[in-house]
């Protein structure tokens, strides 16, 4: 899972590709209403809702991302929170 910044549009986006075929699975914009929710029974996973542009068309989807370590999951949450703080301050 990557967090990308577009300096022209001043926007952030989450991008995830499948490892072997490099197919885009998640292409979701981080906007002021974006929220990561903890997955029940796991400290390594987050659930997110939003418009996913992975297939070219925008579809509202609920996706989950799971990390190998709880620390990595917390770091991901911190980065997303920082992006939201920047968006809300502008």
Tell me, yes or no, whether 80 lies in a domain: no
Query: Facing residues of 52 across strands?
Result: 28, 59
| pLDDT tens-place string over residues 39-54 | 999 999 999 999 999 8
Tell me, yes or no, whether 86 lies in a domain: no
Count how many domains the chain has: 1
Q: Does residue 79 surpass a pLDDT of 80?
A: yes
Tell me, yes or no, whether 88 lies in a domain: no
Q: Which domain holds residue 56?
A: 2-74
pTM: 0.88
Candidates 20, 30, 75, 66; CA nearest to 46 is 66
Largest CA distance in the chain: 40
Instruction: Tell me the average pLDDT of the chain.
Output: 93
Q: How far is CA 25 from CA 21, 28, 31, 57, 83, in A?
A: 11, 10, 19, 13, 21
Which CATH number covers residue 36? 2.30.29.30
Task: Give buried/exposed letters for 45-55 (b at 16+ CB in 10 A, else e).
Answer: bbebebebbbe
């Amino acid at each position: 899972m990557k967090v990308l910044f577009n300096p022209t549009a001043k926007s952030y986006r989450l991008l995830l590709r499948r490892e072997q075929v490099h197919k885009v699975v998640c292409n979701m914009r981080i906007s002021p209403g974006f929220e990561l929710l903890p997955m029940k029974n796991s400290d390594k996973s987050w659930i997110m809702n939003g418009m996913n542009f992975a297939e070219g068309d925008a579809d509202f989807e609920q996706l989950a991302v799971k990390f190998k370590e709880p620390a990595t999951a917390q770091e991901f949450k911190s980065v997303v929170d920082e992006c939201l703080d920047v968006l809300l301050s502008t």
